[in-house]
Amino acid sequence: MPSETLPPGLSRRTLLKTGLIGFALVSASSAALLLQKPKPRAVIGGLLVLSAEEANVLGALADRLCPANVPGAPGARGTNLVARVDALLDSVDVESQKGVKVALMLFDSAFTGALFGERVRPFSQLQGEQQDAVIRNWQHSGIGFRRTLMRALSSLVMSAYWIDPRTWPRIGYPGPPSATGLRATYVDNLVDLSSLGADAAKGT
């Protein structure tokens, strides 16, 4: 299963190189769109790195990418994914934290949506099917930075989701084998170190 590390593409330096920051610098006439705030929703536990607004955006995206539509496996909300990602961010460098924050802000921004003729409301305030359309637009955009940002955020969400054992039945993954199980499986390939040591001693 994937380990809990940040995916490539979410460092602040990478975002600067791909021009994302430039799209966030808007004129005064567009400020009203950019400053629209998503409506906060309850987040389990206290947040360590993410703001309530950023957690709201992450939660809205995760709900669409990892819905609870298969019996026996929870959706993103059922795995406390936002809290998991927030805890992960608390363990990485400030540069990576800022990268995630900028990515979430740009993805949610009403101005970013309006810039591409996509929407005039924040992603987190759209209805489910509308959010799905936005995600598809970013995934298949002809503009590289949009695809890069979407891949990075999707990788972050999916890594945090699939690391939770409660999601494994969804893909038929039984979990990592025990040491005993591994030994039984590969018993014919194991090397008896004690025998090797004895043989070496005889040969000296």
The average confidence (pLDDT) of the chain is 76
Q: Is 109 within a domain?
A: yes
pLDDT at 23: 39
Instruction: Select from 3, 24, 38, 29 the least CA-distant residue to 176.
Output: 3
> Average pLDDT of 57-62?
96
Q: What are phi and psi of 73, to 5 degrees?
A: -140, 130
Which domain, by its residues, includes 86?
Answer: 12-177
Q: Is 199 within a domain?
A: no
Give 171's pLDDT tier (boundaries 50, 70, 90). confident
Q: Is 97 within a domain?
A: yes
pLDDT at 96: 85
Is residue 4 scored above 60 in pLDDT?
A: no
Domain total for the chain? Answer: 1
Question: How much of the chain exceeds pLDDT 90, in percent?
Answer: 32
Is residue 46 scored above 70 in pLDDT?
A: yes
For the chain, the helix, strand and coil percentages under 3-state DSSP, each to the nearest 5: 60, 0, 35
Q: Is 16 within a domain?
A: yes
Is residue 156 scored above 70 in pLDDT?
A: yes
- The lowest-confidence range among 2-6, 22-26, 40-44, 63-67 is 22-26
Q: Is 1 within a domain?
A: no
Pick the residue with more confidence: 65 or 170?
Answer: 65
Question: Within 10 Å of residue 47's Cβ, how many Cβ atoms?
Answer: 17
Pick the residue with more confidence: 75 or 30?
Answer: 75
Q: Is 155 within a domain?
A: yes
> Average pLDDT of 17-41?
41
Q: Is 203 within a domain?
A: no
Cβ density class 86-111: b for 16+ within 10 Å, e for less:
bbbbeebeeebbbbbbbbbbbbbbbb
Q: Is 143 within a domain?
A: yes
Dihedral sign for Cα 92, 93, 97, 99, please: negative
> Average pLDDT of 153-157?
91
> Average pLDDT of 35-42?
47
Is residue 136 scored above 50 in pLDDT?
A: yes
> Average pLDDT of 81-93?
90
pLDDT at 38: 47
Question: Within 10 Å of residue 129's Cβ, how many Cβ atoms?
Answer: 8
Residues 57, 38: Cα–Cα separation, whole Å: 8
Residues 29, 27: Cα–Cα separation, whole Å: 5
Tokens of 9: 């593409």
Say what the pTM is.
0.70
Residues 125, 72: Cα–Cα separation, whole Å: 29
